[in-house]
Structure 1
């Protein structure tokens, strides 16, 4: 009987200041492909607060990984166009999101991290593996956005938007971390709240996210300008069964404040509690409104 090949070994070091998207997407994608990814802290503790206040619990300290050999080492730091001018003259910049040059693969920034991660999978496993994992993830290569707006209303808030993002074991790490990253880049006050027994949440592909607070503490900070729920199983099911979160969402809906979900959370959190009903257009009262979808 033929034995299965050993998983590819990948090292991904993180440090304070690492871009959340540039770290979380390669971790997620490579683990989906079957790689054994070790997230290593380059500091002196496993808990690392990377950019935008995202807290990750690494698997090991980097100093403890020095003796091991890896099929691939991924550095979550890009060849962003801003930094090209810092390269010596002998380095030639290539106008592409991802460049594969021999054994080296480089990407240009957070928004191209998906392409970067898929390129790594292709180099390790081949194009067939890329297609295998890309399809269920709904990865679109043609670019652009696919959005349909129903019942357009103006979202309103006063001052810095307060956002609640609940997490539980088994959520999709990309769906949670990208939301936190993007909203905090926009200067929103995002509270990541754990619906588990502790603040450390293990996402679907093993990334250990450290929440800011427990959900009951976050509830004391209500109301929120936005509540957004990440998907992923079984995390979405856990969140859908969390009475405290459901109560917050229902109050959010009753007060005509925005809320939303992505992926499995639409089916396991919003729909069972009547939160996907189409709503009529509501007047906006914000001096700086954002026109967006409300369902």
Structure 2
């Protein structure tokens, strides 16, 4: 079974963290939120407290994770960037050929982990300096190999549906897009 973990740090952007969780769970992809704060309760950038599924310290087998996700938000992305354990497991994830995703300010974590050199990536405008050797695309989302990056809050749905497509067939993704009325939005 596919396993996806998403990091949560104090100051995460709500939509960028929770929409991918929602969409992947609708697609029956196992996704768990992982707090790096030492506490399961994590406060978002806008004062919403979320209970993470587990703590960073509780994960014993990072190599069994198919994808790691990094939401944006400030100071959440900065807090993730400063966490040595997060940088280490992200680096190991990519080196192991497994997937990583980051959105908005989150790609700064990938830059700090040294895994964007020579890659194409996007991020929230103004954070390009943190991409450390990547070619900035300015796209809503960019896929380069086993790394996907998203631009910001408005990119969250297409970014999350693209992530779902890594693990589910086109019919499943289309069905969820339609059920969530995303196709209606796109046809306007």
Summarize the Cα distance change of 1:169–1:254 in structure 2 as closer, same or farther, 3 Å threshold.
Answer: same
Q: What do the CA deviations read for 1:142-184 (whole angstroms, capped 9, x no partner)?
A: xxxxxxxxxxxxxxxxxx2100101011000111000100111
Corresponding residue of 2:25? 184
Residue 221 of structure 1: how far off its partner (Å): 5.1
Structure 1 position 251 matched with structure 2 position 92 = yes
Structure 2 residue aligned with 1:265: 106
Report the Cα offset of residue 293 of structure 1: 4.2
Cα offset for 1:219?
4.4
Q: Summarize the Cα distance change of 1:215–1:186 in structure 2 as closer, same or farther, 3 Å threshold.
A: same
In the TM superposition, what whole-angstrom CA distance separates every residue of 1:224-271 from its partner, at most 9, and x where no partner exists? 11111000000101111111111111111111111110000112x011
8 Å contact from structure 1 (residues 216, 244) kept in 2? no
Which of the numbers 275, 279, 291 marks the counterpart of 2:115? 275
Give the Å deviation of 1:197. 2.2
Residues 38, 56 of structure 2: 8 Å contact kept? no
Deviations 1:198-219 (A, max 9, x none): 0000001111110011011124
1:244 is paired with a residue of what secondary structure?
Answer: helix
SS in 1 for 2:59: helix
Runs of 4+ in 1 over 6 A off after TM superposition: none
Superposed displacement of residue 277, structure 1: 2.6
Alignment partners' CA distance in 2, 1:219 and 1:241: 21
- 1:211 is aligned to 52
Q: Which structure would you say has the larger Rg? A: 1
Aligned length: 124
> TM-score, normalised on structure 1?
0.40
- Residue 69 of structure 2 corresponds to residue 233 of structure 1: no
Task: Report the CA distance shift for 1:195/1:247 in structure 2 as closer, same or farther (over 3 A).
Answer: same
Unaligned runs of 5+ in 2: 120-142, 148-188
Match of 1:187, SS?
coil
Counterpart selection for 1:200 from 19, 41, 49? 41
Q: Is the 8 A contact 2:9 2:42 kept in 1?
A: yes
SS in 2 for 1:198: coil
In 1, the alpha carbon distance for the partners of 2:39 and 2:69 equals: 20
Question: What secondary structure sits across from 1:176 in the alignment?
Answer: helix
Query: Which deviates the most, 161-170 or 241-250?
Result: 241-250
Please state how far the C-alpha of 1:272 moved relative to its aligned partner.
Answer: 1.8
Q: CA RMSD in A?
A: 1.8
Q: Against the structure 1 CA distance between its residues 219 and 259, is the aligned structure 2 distance closer, same or farther, given a 3 Å change threshold?
A: farther
* Aligned residue runs from structure 1 range 1-295, under 5 A: 160-220=1-61, 222-267=63-108, 269-278=109-118, 293-294=144-145, 295=147
